[in-house]
Amino acid sequence: MRGGDVLSRLGFADVTADEARAAGTMKPGALRGSARGRDLDSLAHTLFLRIYPVIAAVVLLTQVGIAWVNYNDQFRLYTDRANLLASLTAATLARAEGRLNAETARPQLQSLSLDPAFRYAALRDAEGHLVASAGELPRGRNWDLVQVSAELTRAGESPALGSLTVTLSAVELRSNAEKQAMLALGTSLVLMLAFVVTLHANVRGHVLAPLKRLLTAMREVEHKRWATVDLGGAYRASNEIDVITSAFNRMVEGLRTGDEAKLLLQELEAAHTKLEHANRLVIESIGYARRIQASVLPERTALAGAGVDVAVLWEPLHLVGGDYFWLEEIDGLSIVAVADCTGHGVPGAFLTLIVATALDRLLHERGLRSPAEILAGLDQMVRAQLRQDGRGAESDDGLDCGICVWDPKTRTLRFAGAGLALTAITDGQASRIRSGRRGLGYPRTGREALPETDIVIPVVPGATFYLMTDGITDQMGLPAPEAPPRLIGQRAVAEQLLATATLPLSEQVSALEAHLAAYRGGETRRDDMTLVVFRPS
């Protein structure tokens, strides 16, 4: 339909399509005809004219089809009955002694007349001559008759003695079919009448009446009288008219409370300003916390005097993070540690302060130099600080940690890890020194123990070691353009490190960072990233 047809059918007689497009609104009085319901009544007529012929045709064709199937079934039963009568009578006549004759055959043929539908039976000999008959030869139409034949044969004799033809009348069957067809037609008319009454009542009650109420309210709004439509508590989200009516009521309320809307907008702007100010304060606070956390971290050149080349990648997911590393030379030994605390952001940053304090006490007050002993002491102190050393602890936080101690005199590297492994590249080969699976600081379960001894690794010149958190290996990305997203994993990271193993350590770190960014593509990081690379001289 054209735009003008739509407006005309809706009753907007005062507004043409061009005027409606030019003005964007309806003129006063445009809703009066529709509100009186004249055009709305035609909706029921239109639905009737569009739907009734289809339903009538479907029901009528269905009934006719059922009648036709029933008629065919009954006709087949008549044919089967005629075949059975002819076969039984022919078998009886074939058992008679001697040649076929009228005297012996007539009683059998007369017995066929007991069937109400019997009309005629004829017995012929092998030459086709009539031997005997019963009934009258029918002169009706062929479709009113059922005619079958059966041969008379004796056991052991190949030629047939003759044939028997039986004719039954199907007039009663056709009469029943006609009655059934008339009944189907009458049933269809009754169903159509019931459908029309039901359709008209439902359309008027569920469509026309709500639309009239809505149009009446629209006419009131046209005259600046803010009237709404009362749904009577029967609102249904699945009913389009109810949805439109509800939207109309909200529109009226919005027009009526324009000043309140302006005030609400002003309040929203004020709230937005307050939120922006609060967010700025939070960002400034976290930025200051980052400076504090960065000041707790050791200098990257802390092992330069010990002859250990070091490069560090420390990138929190947010401004502050839960990853921490330690670099220090004590008593001629170089100590490298990396810790991955529970969570990230501000909670993780608080745990790194606890870890930093604990490591300082273990190394300087207790004088521990064995990585395994340092891990055990760190586990005990973190659980004590978080009050997780007994039953009923409210906290369930901890960390994964790997500690390396380089002894230049013996050229050996001692390592112990709790949930954090060590990767080594020696002579162009990458290897992974696994750690204990249990983290530090968590409430004890008794299922897994911390490493009790250090892993001693002989160090050849040029060997490079890598301590990294799972924020490096657990990054999600696309390994190939059409492959599904997956984690990059330990193996892919080790291959990348092996490919750049001949580069200076700082360039290795930069190359790995660029490789991870390219692997992620559009994916975002999910955790803090920390990597400490060191190469003893």
State the Cα torsion 183-189-190-195 to the nearest 10°. 150
Place of tokens 């809706």: 10
The pLDDT tens digits for 115-142 are: 888 888 888 887 888 888 888 877 766 6
Least confident of 189-203, 327-341, 368-382: 189-203
Least confident of 21-25, 58-62, 83-87, 366-370: 21-25
Q: How far apart are CA 3 and CA 9, in angstroms?
A: 10
* Average pLDDT over every residue of 18-33: 47
Q: In sequence order, what DSSP letters do the residues of 475-516 get, joined into one string?
A: -EE-SSTTSPPEE-HHHHHHHHHHHTTTS-HHHHHHHHHHHH
Does the pLDDT of residue 458 top 60, yes or no? yes
Classify strands 455-458 and 323-330 as parallel, antiparallel or unpaired: unpaired
Residue 113 vs residue 236, higher pLDDT: 113
Task: Give me the sheet containing 429-433, strands edge to edge.
Answer: 308-315, 529-536, 464-468, 422-426, 429-433
CA 249 from centre of chain: 35
In a 10 Å sphere around its CB, with 0-12 CB exposed, 13-18 middle and 19+ buried, how is residue 116 labelled? exposed
Residue type, 440: L
pLDDT computed for residue 529 by the predictor? 95
Q: Which overall architecture, per CATH, does domain 301-536 show?
A: 4-Layer Sandwich (3.60)
Does the pLDDT of residue 109 top 90, yes or no? no
Q: Cβ distance 312 to 505 under 8 Å?
A: no
Does the pLDDT of residue 3 top 50, yes or no? no
* Average pLDDT over every residue of 424-444: 89
State the Cα torsion 398-404-405-409 to the nearest 10°. 170
User: pTM of the entire structure?
Assistant: 0.52
* Average pLDDT over every residue of 467-491: 88
The pLDDT tens digits for 198-219 are: 877 777 777 777 777 778 777 7
For 306, 424, 499, 532, the CA distances from 462, given in Å and listed in that order, are 16, 11, 15, 16
pLDDT computed for residue 34 by the predictor? 47
The pLDDT tens digits for 292-320 are: 888 889 999 999 999 999 999 999 988 89
- DSSP-derived letter for residue 142 is G
Q: How far apart are CA 120 and CA 167, in angstroms?
A: 5
Determine what percent of the chain is predicted with pLDDT higher than 90: 32
pLDDT computed for residue 169 by the predictor? 82
For 50, 370, 400, the CA distances from 44, given in Å and listed in that order, are 10, 92, 74
The pLDDT tens digits for 504-526 are: 999 999 999 999 999 998 888 88
pLDDT computed for residue 43 by the predictor? 64
**Average pLDDT taken over every residue of the chain:** 82
For 172, 237, 278, 315, the CA distances from 283, given in Å and listed in that order, are 97, 43, 9, 17
